[in-house]
Amino acid sequence: MKSDISIKMHYLDLGNPRNLPIILIHGMTFDHQMWNPQIQVLKDKYRVIAYDLRGHGLSTVGDGQYTYKMFTDDLIDLMDHLHIKQAVLCGLSMGGVIAIRAYEMNPDRIKALILCDTRSEADSNQTKYWREDSIELIKNKGLDAFTNEFIKTIFTVESIKKQHKSVELIRNVILSSSPKAICGVLLAQAARTDMKHVLPKIKVPTLIMIGENDNFTPYASSETMNNGIINSKLKIISKAGHISNLENKYEFNHNLLEFMKEIE
């Protein structure tokens, strides 16, 4: 990789390699498994790449000192490794920010963007304080304490009650992570640049989706992206929180497939 030659990345490469490629980019503390419901509906018509960001899943943790440039370089290196000249990028939360940064750095490599439960602006002071507190919580009380609180933030109360498989999937992924890596990602999040200046430069088809009950990412952030990106579409996923692709996979997948069909 450009930023660290020792990094090894885990990825899935499914579907026909001659078809339109879509790369799925997961959120902070998650891994490629969060995209299972989307992989199942995409792989018959498209080439689907789902990978683990550095420090996540089965990818290398490294030194735990991460930046968004590193995450973006990793993505482009993966595309080069797989001989993908241009792809649709679909990112949720942190994955969406990586997609925007990838467009800023390599616009010719991006065919379209799908930005889910994410935002272009940098962290507010309040969010930075939360990330600092989360690092302190992990260091003092471990991943269990952090995970229990985080789950309550990213899923709706209804999802926690009724969608046990999805909640437990995410819980187990977080608990299997390296504490050093999660602390490193939290720092990278707090240090990331404001990306609103990129929005008017985006000239590719863009779909924005957000759960109607996402308390982690403000709806106003989706509106900011929708207003800033020419001809972008904004879809609200009903009965979903921050993990809208799992909490209402049917509505999410409908919008996803409809958009992919339009850009083919």
Tens-place pLDDT, residues 239-259: 999 999 999 999 999 999 999
What residues make up the domain containing 34?
A: 11-263
Please check whether residue 50 lies inside any domain of the structure. yes
How many domains does the structure of the chain reveal?
A: 1
pTM over cut 0.75: yes
Give the per-residue pLDDT at 1. 42
Please check whether residue 1 lies inside any domain of the structure. no
Please check whether residue 2 lies inside any domain of the structure. no
Are 221 and 129 spatial neighbours (Cβ–Cβ below 8 Å)?
A: no
Please check whether residue 219 lies inside any domain of the structure. yes
Are 41 and 48 spatial neighbours (Cβ–Cβ below 8 Å)?
A: no
Say how far apart CA 46 and CA 77 lie, in whole Å.
21
Give the per-residue pLDDT at 6. 64
Say how far apart CA 99 and CA 251 lie, in whole Å.
22
Please check whether residue 173 lies inside any domain of the structure. yes
Tell me which residues of the chain have a pLDDT lower than 70. 1-6
Find the CATH number of the domain harbouring 182.
Answer: 3.40.50.1820
Give the per-residue pLDDT at 159. 97
- Among 113, 59, 111, smallest CA distance to 85 is for 111
